[in-house]
Structure 1
Amino acid sequence: MKDLLWAAEYSLLDLLKYFSFFLIAFNFPIYKKKISVPIYFVFSMLCCLLYFEIRGGDRWLSGIPNLCSILFVVLIEKGKRVKGFIYMAVSWIIMDLLSTLSKMLFYAMFEDDCYLYGALVGRPLWDKVLVLIAPMIYHFLMNIIIKRKVDYYLSTSQLGVIFSSFIGGLFIIPALGKMVRRKEYDPKAYVIISVAMLGLLFLFIAVMVWQSFVVNRNNKMKQDEIKYQYMLKAQSDYFDGLKNDQEKVRRFRHDVRAHITALQKYLDEGNTEKMQEYLACMQKQVDIDQTKKYTCNMAADAVINDQTKVMQDKNIKFQYEGCPKIREEISDYDLCTIFYNLLKNAVEGCEKVEADEKGVDVKVSNSGEQLLIRVENDTIMKDKIIDGDMFTTKKDIKNHGFGMKSVRAVVNKYNGFYSNKIEDGKFVAFIAL
């Protein structure tokens, strides 16, 4: 019974150290129901205990939590499971190295104290509990001190390094563990080995964090440049449309006498059919309502007009309601970012709907000085929301997501509020600025 409790303690702490680092350091949300997490732990511990009973000892017991941790990847979002598996391997490397190196340091520090040595190095409890502090320290540094969550990006070369490190770790970590148990070297040698390995480990983590910051910053700059160019083009098209509308008005005014004369002639003759045909022709020629004003902000109106043309081409019905007052501190660029991304996502959502009638409804209003924006569109999605975040249905997951991140960044900039939900077959996005 005592051995079974030891095996349960060992496997639980091993699972916890992988689980905590994976969730805290890599920011992976749980996709399944929360009850699945304790079920996962119970199942994994039962697997470890079953192996322990069948083998009749702890040989290779440490490998069972590693194998069970792979199952945890099933609990995250479907499109991120391959990435999750890679990051779980990284969690193995980091946490097992920290655990083994902490044993080496404790041996070097407490070799003369038999009680402390037995408590810290001889049992699995203390080194694993100590290692569980590492994700908390990481969380404290990145999310509280630096106040930035790292969205890790792995290039092909990095994947190669991680794979090589993982293979190397399979040989190095057990060898280091045997060195500690057998006390093969002088304590000073263990200190040197531990410090060197910890330095390499921290350098590995620092490079990952730094590269992720750089790549994400470059991606953001590219997206901002694309949006800026789009906004300039939309504004140029908008002003060209206004210019064309004014030209049509001038032509109509110039020819209005001739049109009145022709209509008067048909009226005198009582030829209402010809008169209706003539009026219909005039209406087509004087179509000055193509470039509309929605928000009283020319930049935002340019973006909305551009997206309405896309909707017309795709037979998507567009409805707009509201004439809001926009605070001066909200920049044109930020306003365009919101309307562009919300409408673009709405169009993409409608495209997947097979119904003949599908549409996008936009309502813009004020509550005091706050600007309220509500965008609804027909969708095929059902309950794919976690904490207000929609999961993408696109295949290009790597490059998807910058649009909504940009919207959230604008909302956070003005201390606003963003939410989304699915309601009666419609995707509803709501923003308060």
Structure 2
Amino acid sequence: MIIYNMILCFLEVLKYIFISDMFFLRQKRKFNNIILPVSLVCVAMGIVAEFNVVNYLILYTLFVFVQMAIIYENVNPKFMLLTLWSVFIITLLDEMTRVIIEVLMDYKKIGNHLIERFMSSLITVACLLSLSIIIGKKYRNRIEKVGIGYYIFFLGLTIANTFIIVFFKEYVFAQIQVDNVALVYVTFLAMSIGMFIEIALVMMLAVSRSDYKERNELNQKFLEEQKNHYKYLEERERETKLFRHDIRSHLNVIAEGLRKEKYDEVGKYIESICGQIENFGNVLTVNNGIVDAILNRYYSEAPKKNVSMCVKGQIPKNCKIEAFDLCTIFSNVLSNAIEAASKSENKSLEVKCGYKDNKIVIAVENDYDGNIKMKNGKYISNKKNTDYHGYGLINVKRSVEKYSGSMNIRAENKFIVNILMYNR
């Protein structure tokens, strides 16, 4: 019996791993680091469950929290809320599958409580595995960014639904005397399915609101990039007009110096004028308006942070990548690159753009101080605004994947971001 309970505990672990994978792209600890502690906790749970030492629900919840802390890294409040929510959503699933099994067992006249529990767990594991595969990484990214308030709401809603289902199954349906027992089971299953649909719809609403909020923030950022570029161009135009206004005076000074044969002074004066021309006349272009705007903005900001920025290559004139996505990609990558380069010793940044056939390639290489932060297997910035840790690169990856592309990040002597997209 203890071995049977231990097997059930391992099945429970699988259920929570699948749910966690559905909601979070979380980094699991290495298998050899978790197998022993997980096994020990399962053994302890199996023994305690056998002798009913304490309230089973409290023990089971504690068991789940311990297992999740062992298996996953960086366990935070949102993840703990999800784990607690999982306790109740899995209870709902188990109750549904148990009813189905009870119908089959009664039909075959081989009812057995142990077999029911085991089969119920297997079916629940199979359902959660299927959902995990269906949801995929695309939806996991979206769910992970839902605010913690929604998780609290999900938890309250699921707890209420779980208690309703358990109450009806154990107390209401058990008291109903009908000739057609199948009708009771069908009613119970319909209630359970309705509750799952209700929870799913609330989640979809939360994800949609989160997406809308994020999209709005990115739109604001896009408009801000355009505004900054226009200000940059206006400043350049103003400086050009001032220089043109003074050009006659400059020529008079040069002519006077030549007349008096002060060649060294004239040479130095011409060099200073050339320096001024380079300061306001060097506008970067890669053949794309919005990318030019972003590149020139950061190119003008780079010297303020003592960063040497170099841009090479071009983007095709008939670029089919939406301006919104180009803004998302370049603004996020360059913002991180300049921030990292400014803290390094060499302080250099290089941007390369190129294309061939229907492929567009972007490479950004920058120096960094060797301090790399990672969370759940993802790179995050060292910026002070921790509310958006990691989301910049997530947004970049999402924009890249819209065009069947890929993003590769490496931290070697330099921090390198390589992006490939299809121009279609």
Q: Deviations over 1:183-203 (max 9, x none)?
A: 665445454344324422331
Distance 2:352 2:23 in 1: 37
Distance 1:226 1:199 in 2: 39
> 1:208 Cα deviation (Å)?
1.2
Q: Residue 322 of structure 1: SS of its match in structure 2?
A: strand
> 1:382 Cα deviation (Å)?
3.7
The partner residue of 1:309 within 300, 303, 306 is: 300
Q: Residue 418 of structure 2: SS of its match in structure 1?
A: strand
> 1:207 Cα deviation (Å)?
1.2
The partner residue of 1:104 within 84, 90, 99 is: 99
Aligned to 1:322: 312
The question of whether the paired residues in 2 share the 8 Å contact of 1:376 and 1:427 is answered with yes
- How does 1:193-272 map onto structure 2 within 5 Å? 193-212=188-207, 214-244=208-238, 246-247=240-241, 250-251=244-245, 253-255=247-249, 257-266=251-260, 268=261, 270=262, 272=264
Distance 1:332 1:124 in 2: 53
> 1:429 Cα deviation (Å)?
0.8
The question of whether the paired residues in 1 share the 8 Å contact of 2:351 and 2:362 is answered with yes
Q: 1:226 to 1:69 in 2, by over 3 A?
A: same
Aligned to 1:412: 401
Q: 124-133 or 193-202: which moved more?
A: 193-202
Q: 1:138 to 1:236 in 2, by over 3 A?
A: same
- How does 1:55-70 map onto structure 2 within 5 Å? 56=51, 60=55, 64-70=59-65
1:42 pairs with 2:39:
yes
Aligned residues: CA RMSD: 3.7
Aligned to 1:129: 122
Aligned to 1:21: 19
> 1:93 Cα deviation (Å)?
0.9
The partner residue of 2:112 within 115, 118, 121 is: 118
Structure 2 gap segments, 5+ residues each: none
> 1:271 Cα deviation (Å)?
7.0
Q: Residue 346 of structure 1: SS of its match in structure 2?
A: helix
Q: 375-384 or 4-13: which moved more?
A: 375-384
The question of whether the paired residues in 1 share the 8 Å contact of 2:147 and 2:210 is answered with no
The question of whether the paired residues in 1 share the 8 Å contact of 2:98 and 2:117 is answered with no
> 1:262 Cα deviation (Å)?
2.0
The question of whether the paired residues in 1 share the 8 Å contact of 2:154 and 2:199 is answered with no
Q: 1:111 to 1:397 in 2, by over 3 A?
A: farther
Q: 234-243 or 202-211: which moved more?
A: 234-243
Structure 1 gap segments, 5+ residues each: none
Q: Residue 381 of structure 1: SS of its match in structure 2?
A: coil
Distance 1:322 1:130 in 2: 56
Aligned to 1:296: 287
Distance 1:194 1:245 in 2: 74
Q: 1:101 to 1:309 in 2, by over 3 A?
A: same
Aligned to 2:360: 371
- How does 1:372-387 map onto structure 2 within 5 Å? 372-377=361-366, 378-382=368-372, 384=374
The partner residue of 1:138 within 131, 143, 160 is: 131
Q: Residue 398 of structure 2: SS of its match in structure 1?
A: helix
The question of whether the paired residues in 2 share the 8 Å contact of 1:152 and 1:208 is answered with no
Distance 2:231 2:294 in 1: 9
Distance 2:236 2:388 in 1: 35
The partner residue of 1:158 within 150, 165, 177 is: 150
> 1:328 Cα deviation (Å)?
1.1
Q: 1:254 to 1:348 in 2, by over 3 A?
A: same
TM-score w.r.t. the length of structure 1 is 0.79
Q: Which amino acid is 1:235 matched to?
A: H
Q: 1:262 to 1:369 in 2, by over 3 A?
A: farther
> 1:228 Cα deviation (Å)?
2.5
Q: Deviations over 1:231-252 (max 9, x none)?
A: 3213313432453464356346
Aligned to 1:429: 417
Q: Which amino acid is 1:262 matched to?
A: E
Distance 2:375 2:92 in 1: 36
The question of whether the paired residues in 2 share the 8 Å contact of 1:96 and 1:173 is answered with no
Task: State how many pairs are aligned.
Answer: 413
Q: Deviations over 1:33-76 (max 9, x none)?
A: 34345345323313224535xx7358755654532321314544
The question of whether the paired residues in 1 share the 8 Å contact of 2:363 and 2:419 is answered with yes
Distance 2:348 2:328 in 1: 21
Q: 1:326 to 1:248 in 2, by over 3 A?
A: farther
The question of whether the paired residues in 2 share the 8 Å contact of 1:350 and 1:358 is answered with yes
Distance 1:31 1:318 in 2: 39
Distance 1:153 1:337 in 2: 17
